[in-house]
Structure 1
């Protein structure tokens, strides 16, 4: 099998980010002083670093991406976008997805929204919409940076003061000495009952109720509302370098996410979803070609990923012209820190009149965090999982002024709500799954983020 390595992250890009890291830290402190809990950080790395699976004539999918959709798959892009949404206000909250989606029809200037994976009786948390008054965008390229200011609804004096302060802060690059996050010897251990839940899910598969079920465990760090700061989040993100970094905190709820997974992106009437299924931790600091070959050799992982591709293709049929849907770069072994994660790119042309409201109505909850068939597996998950998921496996999204939007699945995260500070972890279960191996994978994922928060929430662990 001939494999290609698409290594699009250059060391110079990371070096340039670190070159301005102290400036970014100073900006966060300045915004915190000005707006307290009225800021939101959204970081995204635009690249596609990993290993390409060798398709052949037996595959419907292809590694050849047509030129007109190359901009949807970020293989050739190589930059980091840091977005700072300022002086934000919460405009709407509801635990009913239908009412929530109706609200998103209203005209807001660049709203940011957080949605739980389910609605009504499935969840105890409320989905909510935030409206920013202005935004600072910082583009980090390999050799330079670019700063853009967007004023949505701010009084001119405060906007101009912030703009002047930002330009002053970035007048000279300043490197921040990035702290190495100390790894604790403490290991978070999941309740053994999770194995029983996985076994019950497989029983449903044996009688034909479902074929793939994403089983999760949501647990509490602490019942106290002791959450990390925006500055702590930024330092942690510099150590993890996750594809998506999202931070928001107010007096009642908070979220810090280091998610590797996009849900759906709508751009120029094209819609893209990038489901991830199949995870393998490398013995090396950076996954190798050998790691990619290894995950592709595991029948369970290929089977699981194939099922979720089929599920997401069917979801896209609800909002796309049927003949337009194609799968590109199937089983792509994307590098995420020391992990390999298999993902595929599924793209289609939207039907006339399709918008954010339409897509969320038809495609939530996300296929990669539920299973197939989706309706039945959601019922099974609701009955089997001990705790409500809350914001875990929900989505965060930004709708641009022109109607385009991008959404991220909220995994590899911690959350705060009335139940306290909590986290979630999960794995995709099929009839081929080994229960002990799936349990170990959940603990591995959990402890991959533990060092990030342990030093900051050390007195909150239970």
Structure 2
């Protein structure tokens, strides 16, 4: 999977000229948006990258929560996909795979209203096609240094001793080690002196049904001084994001394409902003898509040999939420 030559060169050219731009690259990397900030129309695109935004701060206040009516895939269907992945794992073809699904939902809110209500590090609304409110950074580039923050491991924050439980869970720990190793290898493709600066720290996210805890790490590397002339090349080498594909990446993506029954589209792609000096980007998770006036919430989780099908199914549903103020 490679970014198209046209998109890559446009990112490189804008970076070379230090023209600020937003980029949105879908999972398949065949439908992308790259547009200078000066040309963005707020009727088509709204963004907020950790406070760098083209819209006023939250203009719509929701009630205590945004209630979603959820119609999840039945467990038997999910189990069939899960078992297929376990067979691939047992055959040595993958040892971590991020399985996702598309869940029909109903909400009284429009996608734009959800954008304004949502509390998240990153928010994105595109032409009433989808809204994303992601907690996960993909990469940041600051002062010739590139940072990545892989996120793996989720638990209900209301469970007593939730933090110690998730940090001591063998399956979750193994999965996180795998992703950190994968991202470290990815960063080595574009930078040098790659270092794991912080390993397995907790982030708390408030949802419409309570809090959840998520486990992240911080990895960094050193870029060449002229990195801004090669922004497209850098992302081309890093995509797709390891945290939403798996390891080994290339073979795992093939298995994902054979197993999943929906098109991911922009879900699990990446989006970001170059402000003329720095880059900040996210992985597009926590994602609602509109198709024929129907809403679909796309969510998933990592599968390893130690995964329990029922727990993974429940986590898939647990991630169907909108974080609000």
Q: Output the TM-score relative to the length of structure 1.
A: 0.59
The CA deviation at 1:209 is 0.7
* 2:134 match: secondary structure: coil
The question of 1:206 aligning with 2:90 is answered yes
Give, in angstroms, the shift of residue 440 of structure 1: 1.0
Tell me, yes or no, if structure 1 residue 436 matches structure 2 residue 314: no
Aligned to 1:376: 251
State the 1:407 CA deviation. 0.7
1:233 aligned residue (102, 107, 115): 115
The number of residue pairs the alignment matches comes to 303
How far the C-alpha of 1:415 sits from its partner, in A, is 2.3
SS at match of 2:319: helix
The residue aligned with 2:290 is 416
Q: How many angstroms apart in 1 are the aligned matches of 2:220 and 2:297?
A: 31
Instruction: Establish whether residue 296 from structure 1 lines up as the match of residue 167 from structure 2.
Output: yes
Residue 221 (structure 1) shift: 4.8
Do 2:111 and 2:130's aligned partners in 1 also have CA atoms closer than 8 Å? no
CA drift of 1:133 comes to 2.2
Look up the match of 2:22.
Answer: 112
What is the SS of the residue equivalent to 1:189?
Answer: coil
**Cα distance between partner residues in 2 of 1:149 and 1:426:** 28
Q: Pick the structure with greater CA Rg.
A: 1
Task: Map Cα deviations across residues 248-275 of structure 1 (whole Å, 9 max, x no partner).
Answer: 32xxx53321111000111111000000
- CA deviation digits over 1:151-201, x for unaligned, max 9? xxxxxxxxxxx9xxx9xxx9xxxx9875323646x4432233122111111
Matched with 1:131 is 36
| In structure 2, C-alpha distance between the alignment counterparts of 1:362 and 1:96, rounded to whole Å | 9
2:216 corresponds to 1:340: no
Q: Distance in 1 between matches of 2:25 and 2:190?
A: 20
The alpha-carbon deviation at position 130 of structure 1 amounts to: 2.8
- Summarize deviations over 1:51-77 as a string: whole Å, max 9, x none: xxxxxxxxxxxxxxxxxxxxxxxxxxx
Change (3 A) 1:361 1:96: closer
Quote the residue 1:248 is aligned against: 126
- 5+ unaligned residues in a row in structure 2: which ranges? 43-47
- State the Cα RMSD in Å: 3.2
Paired residue secondary structure (1:365): coil
TM-score (norm 2): 0.83
The answer to whether the 8 Å contact 2:111/2:131 transfers is no
Distance 1:149 1:182, change over 3 A: closer
Are 1:426 and 2:290 matched, yes or no?
A: no
Q: Could you tell me whether the CA contact under 8 Å between 2:3 and 2:236 is conserved in 1?
A: no
Partner of 1:188: 71
Contact 2:158/2:212 (CA < 8 Å) preserved in 1?
no
TM-aligned CA distance change 1:229 to 1:300, over 3 Å: closer
Q: CA contact under 8 A between 2:81 and 2:259: conserved in structure 1?
A: yes
Structure 1 residue 409 displacement after superposition? 0.8
8 A Cα contact 2:71 2:103, kept in partner: no
Distance 1:345 1:130, change over 3 A: same
Note the residue ranges of structure 1 that are not aligned, 5 or more in a row: 1-94, 121-125, 140-146, 151-161, 453-462
Please give the alpha-carbon distance, in whole angstroms, between the structure 2 residues aligned to 1:281 and 1:194: 21
Q: 1:297 to 1:430 in 2, by over 3 A?
A: same
Q: Is residue 2:188 matched to residue 1:306?
A: no
Separation in 1, partners of 2:70, 2:271: 29
Please state how far the C-alpha of 1:320 moved relative to its aligned partner: 0.8
C-alpha displacement of 1:244: 1.9
Q: Distance in 2 between matches of 1:243 and 1:130?
A: 21
Task: Say which of 167, 184, 188 aligns to 1:317.
Answer: 188
CA separation of 1:189 and 1:220: change in aligned 2, threshold 3 A: closer
- Greater RCO (Cα-Cα under 8 Å, separation 6 or more): 2
- The structure carrying a bigger strand percent of its residues is 2
CA distance in 2, matches of 1:149, 1:278: 29
Q: Residues 400 and 435 of structure 1: is their aligned pair in 2 closer, same or farther, counting only changes over 3 Å?
A: same
Name the counterpart of 2:45. none
SS in 1 for 2:285: coil
| Cα distance change on mapping 1:314 and 1:227 into 2, 3 Å | same
User: What does residue 281 of structure 1 align with?
Assistant: 156
CA contact (8 A) 2:287 2:299 kept: no
Question: What is the rounded CA distance, in whole Å, between the counterparts of 1:346 and 1:199 in structure 2?
Answer: 33
